[in-house]
Amino acid sequence: MKIYIITDMEGISGICNEAQVKREMPQYVEGQRLLSGDVNAAIAGAFEGGATEVLVSDAHGSGFNFILEQMDPHATYERPNGGLDFMPGLDDSFDGLFCIGYHAMAGTLNGFLDHTQSSASWFNYWVNGRRTGELGQCGLWAGSYGVPMLLVTGDRAACDEAHDFFGEIETVSVKQGIGRQYARCTHPEATRISIREAARRSLSLIGKARPYRVQEPLTLRLEFYRSDMADSVALRPGTRRINARTVERVVDNPRLLLSI
Ligand SMILES: [Zn+2]
């Protein structure tokens, strides 16, 4: 059985300050160490559950967050291939997807560091009329290969969102957001045990969990923070201007869901 793991940082155990996810800040090194703890726990649980191969995408920012020597040597590692292809090694040979260290979509109450792609410019994003965040995007991408979401870890709000989109999958809430900028964290030693156990259990969902799919073609709609952010995007062929801040585009394939 093959498991693909995509990772982010905002929803990693013990990360309770935005400085820990920003490369230019001194606290980022601590964030990297905490990241490796959660990801290694998920990898270990996957193998305990019966995985024979685990491929991990280092996907926070543009990648390069892992210190490979800190990572479990039984897995293989990659990172997004440019802005649009965030799980380059995923294909239909995989049996399940884990999202580790995730956050809720932009505009979620008490979602720690909630955002969808760019916290600087994306205000709202919809797929076929449903407001969607990065978890939904990951689910759609994997679903296009017939690969189901099995496990999501992150703050409480991310776990709630995961159940809204994917039903009864495994989730591990590692912190409670207090507004956007603060979080009350469970100790990482405790959450790593929970992540490992949930990862192991999640492999029993293979064959039962349904891949997340929506009607194709997909109508993508993006509302920017300011109208000038939509001005240049609206000029691209195939893009429709909905209003000053909002553009829409129809794509055939879920793997084009960021091409707006
Ligand atoms: Zn991130």
| Each residue's pLDDT tens digit, 89-99 | 999 999 999 99
Measured CA to CA in angstroms, residue 38 lies from 88, 153, 193 at distances of 22, 9, 9
The alpha carbon of 87 is separated from its chain's Cα centroid by a whole number of angstroms, namely 11
Q: Answer whether 217's CB lies under 8 Å from 251's CB.
A: yes
pLDDT of residue 83 exceeding 90, the answer is: no
Residue 55 pLDDT class (50, 70, 90 cuts): very high
CATH code for residues 2-117+133-212: 3.40.50.10780
Q: Which residue reads 């490369």 in tokens?
A: 23
The alpha carbon of 90 and the centre of ligand 1 are apart by a number of angstroms equal to: 19
Nearest of 236, 9, 251 to residue 115 by alpha carbon: 9
| CA 8 / ligand 1 centre spacing (Å) | 5
Over residues 63-90, the mean pLDDT reads 93
Please provide the DSSP assignment of 103-127 as one string. Answer: -PPTT-TT-TT--SS-TTTEEEEEE
Put the strands of the sheet holding 76-78 in their side by side order: 76-78, 53-58, 2-7, 96-102, 149-155, 170-178, 182-185
How confident is the model over 222-232, as a mean pLDDT? 95
Distance 17 CA to ligand 1 centre (A): 13
Given a cut of 90, is residue 86 above it in pLDDT?
Answer: no
Share the mean pLDDT of the chain. 96
Band (259; pLDDT cuts 50, 70, 90): confident
Average pLDDT of the segment spanning 210-228: 96
Whole-number Å distance, alpha carbon 61 to ligand 1 midpoint, is 6
Q: How far is the CA of 206 from the centre of ligand 1 (A)?
A: 27
Residue 150's pLDDT band (boundaries 50, 70, 90)? very high
- pLDDT for 215 beyond 90: yes
* Single pTM value for the model: 0.96
pLDDT of residue 248: 97
Average pLDDT (30-58) is 98
Q: How confident is the model at residue 82 (pLDDT cuts 50, 70, 90)?
A: confident
CA of 117 to the centre of ligand 1 (A): 8
Rounded mean pLDDT, 228-242:
94
What confidence category does residue 80 fall into, taking pLDDT thresholds of 50, 70 and 90?
very high
User: Does residue 41 carry a pLDDT above 80?
Assistant: yes
Q: Is the pLDDT of residue 109 over 90?
A: yes
- How far is CA 248 from each of CA 10, 86, 219, 238, 259, rounded to the nearest angstrom? 28, 21, 7, 9, 11
CA of 196 to the centre of ligand 1 (A): 21
Question: Ligand 1 centre from 166 Cα, in Å?
Answer: 21
CA distance 232 to 230: 6
Q: How far is CA 15 from the centre of its chain?
A: 16
Instruction: pLDDT band for 50, please (50, 70, 90 cuts).
Output: very high
Enumerate the domain spans of the chain: 2-117+133-212
The answer to whether the bond into 26 is cis (omega within 30° of 0) is no
Beta strands at 182-185 and 218-224: parallel, antiparallel or unpaired: unpaired
> CA–CA distance from 240 to each of 116, 137, 232, 245 (Å)?
21, 21, 12, 11
pLDDT at 94: 98
Which residues have C-beta under 5 Å from ligand 1, the single-atom ion?
Answer: 8-9, 60
Average pLDDT, stretch 4-12? 98
Name residue 246's beta-bridge partners: 223, 243
pLDDT of residue 84: 78
Q: 136 alpha carbon to ligand 1 midpoint, in Å?
A: 15
